[in-house]
Amino acid sequence: MKRTVTFILLLTLAIAQRVSASDFQKNIGGVTMAFTITDDGDQPQVTLDGPVAKTPSGPARRLVIPDEVNSDGVRYRVTAIAPRAFFGSQWLQAVTLPPSVSAVGYGAFENCSALRCVVLACDSLGLMSEVFRGCSQVDSLVIGPTVRKLPSQAFASLTSLKEISFQAVKAEAMHYAFFGCESRARMEVGSGVTVVPDFLCYNFMGLSELVFDTVGSSLATIGQYAFSNCLFLRSLTLPSSLTLIEASAFAYCRLQSVAFRSALPPYLNEHPFYGVDPQTVVQVPCGTMQRYANSAVAHAFEHIEYPAGCPADPVRTEVVYIHDTVYIHDTVYLPESDFHKRFEAAQDDADDDSLAYVDDGHSRLLEDTDPEQWIFLDGKIVRITHAIELAGTLLRAFDDDGRLVINERIPADQPADNYYVRLPRRKRYFLVVGGATPISVDIINQKVSR
């Protein structure tokens, strides 16, 4: 009993000393808060030291910390929350951190046992250590649209999370934010999110449900290792807006089903489903079987199927088993050359305007080209990435005799970031894509067994 009383006295004394050292006090949401001025120059700033009374009278409260406070006619920007500022505040039920706050001190909300909901509107949090230790009731977390950066393991101590709303539209660095979290949680990714940042939920072992807006989603990219090691994630439905899944994004997830909603397969960069069971059931939109069967999706999974109700198409609606989908080159970067210009010049000089090949002189020119500009393949599919940016661009492929075998234009209204071309059965080709900068080209085996 003596030890308990002594601890309370010491804690009260520490709080009193901190408050007495503060520069001014303000009433925020019915609670008197103490502030310390940290910069009184051109951009006045303060740190929120916490409530003056550790147990304010009245019921539990939802606290919205303001961006600015006014004292003696001066507007101060609230940029930090002091260490242990709200330590043991049993009255605190929910808290919102504003965009202005960039640092939250050690244990700022430690042992706030009534705290249930945390809303982050911060722009960039660079410091956030053991902030929620002992907050065993926090089950709801909102990462707002304005949040750009979060420190590593920002939410590792939240052991009871159930609902996470991820709304960050300009997310940058959020590595390992949920590292080691084991509580069974559901994450909803907002429709305004364009990129899920790298390593966001790496080793978030308790993440059991991941929900994307499949109708109005803006999501284009899922970053590398974003959901790697989410061991309880069983199903996944990816939105139609998705064009890129980065390396190991879902590595070692124990997925049982994956549904793609995009008409063209998203680009899979360096095995995003590494370690996922290749027998996982994969569904694709009606009428897209051939595209997916000739894409990297078929390299990651052994069978693809349509959802119930799809009409028959030339590939048939049964499960398609992919036994030999092989990358000849994972990525080939093709430098722009003057080869196609020389070809056009040779065509202009020819008597027959429909001539689709060049003379022996041009064949000799082929020998002068950089061998790395040649793709060696035999009856394959070429996937052009960045196809939206290349909409309207002329795509040409020449065989080793200088014969033009592919001469088509990427549609001006290209709807997705991938464009597919089936090459005739040849030994090697020289591929020219307009006058664009080097682009990524996947050479994919088209052998499909049904």
Q: Are 63 and 56 in contact (CB under 8 A)?
A: no
Per-residue confidence (pLDDT) for residue 59, from 0 to 100: 63
Q: Where are the domains of the chain?
A: 139-322, 329-445
Per-residue confidence (pLDDT) for residue 313, from 0 to 100: 60
Confidence at 319, pLDDT banded by 50, 70, 90? very low
Per-residue confidence (pLDDT) for residue 400, from 0 to 100: 53
Per-residue confidence (pLDDT) for residue 75, from 0 to 100: 95
How is 248-312 classified by DSSP, letter by letter? TTTTT---SEEEE--SSPPEE-S-TTTTS-TT-EEE--TT-HHHHHTSHHHHH-SEEEPPTTPPP
Q: Indicate the angle between helix axes 360-368 and 339-349, nearest 10 degrees.
A: 170
* pLDDT tens digits for range 175-218: 999 998 989 999 999 999 999 999 999 999 999 999 998 778 89
Q: Are 148 and 177 in contact (CB under 8 A)?
A: no
Q: Which residue has the higher pLDDT, 346 or 74?
A: 74
Residues 254-269 as b/e (b if ≥16 CB within 10 A, e otherwise) read: ebeebebbbebbbbbb
Domains 139-322 and 329-445 share a fold: no
Helices (H), 301-412: 339-349, 360-368
Sign of CA dihedral 101, 107, 108, 110: positive
Predicted TM-score (pTM) of the model is 0.67
Give the helix/strand (H/E) hosting 13.
helix 2-20
Q: What rounded mean pLDDT belongs to the chain?
A: 76
Helix (H, G, I), strand (E, B) or coil at 342: helix
* pLDDT tens digits for range 60-109: 689 999 999 999 999 999 999 999 999 999 889 999 999 999 999 999 99
Give the range among 280-289, 300-309, 372-381 with minimum mean pLDDT: 372-381
Q: Facing residues of 28 across strands?
A: 31
* pLDDT tens digits for range 393-442: 777 666 555 566 677 778 888 877 777 777 665 555 555 555 444 344 44
CATH code at 139-322: 3.80.10.10
Q: In whole angstroms, what is the distance from residue 63 CA to residue 29 CA?
A: 6
Question: Is the domain 329-445 a CATH 2.60.120 member?
Answer: yes
Helix (H, G, I), strand (E, B) or coil at 90: coil
Confidence at 322, pLDDT banded by 50, 70, 90? very low
Tokens 């009433």, residue? 27
